[in-house]
A and B are shown apart, each in its own frame.
Chain A
């Protein structure tokens, strides 16, 4: 079942601008993760935020988590052409019954 739902489905911005993607989910979670996928290849883990954390940074990435609203956002600052990819949020619901539950992703295009 799809738990995480990303918004927007597609985003096109100019190089150097910031990109913000949002994710909503439905049940309680242990953690929420963001992954990047380039052109139908494997997924690359970007960042993991636990349910008791509110914000996390990694390089140009900033992730926030609001468990009361069951939502998360991923901010990529100073975007580069190499950031062009699909971005997925994934939730661990706990108990591990369904593995990681992925959203449908946001396709980000960085215009040079």
Chain B
């Protein structure tokens, strides 16, 4: 099976702009989770989608949003970008059936730089 793919891999934006990142999960996986990784805060959970519904949400401002499509592909959007949003954004997919967080399969990440 193909792994989790994320596009784009690298992105440079300026403050105030918005950005959309895409994640295609492993075929058959219905859960997609998003994480932000920064040197200072480490890996932090953004949100999880399962069957097109947001199932869980981390402690991030409303500027961070996401959605999931019927084919399980997911997008996350960050509006009004701030310098502190510069990070590696990782998505992870799993079967998600149990409702608990079993083995997660991560994509390569999108590295976002906000200038």
**Do A and B form a real pair?**
yes
A interface vs B, CB < 8 Å? 1-2, 30-31, 33, 35, 40-45, 48, 88, 90, 92, 94, 96-105
Give complex CA distance A2, B46 in Å: 13
Give how many B residues have a beta carbon under 8 Å from the other chain's beta carbons.
29
Contact A48 B100 (CB under 8 A): no
Asked if B79 CB lies within 8 Å of chain A CBs, one says no
Across the two chains, which residue of chain A brings its CB closest to B43? A102
Asked if B68 CB lies within 8 Å of chain A CBs, one says no
- Smallest CB separation, B60 vs chain A (Å): 11
Sample 11 A-B pairs with CB under 8 A, ordered by A number: A30-B100, A31-B100, A33-B104, A42-B90, A42-B107, A43-B92, A48-B103, A88-B43, A92-B101, A96-B55, A96-B100
Give complex CA distance A104, B58 in Å: 17
* Given A102-B43, A104-B42: A96 touches B99 (CB 8 Å cut-off): yes
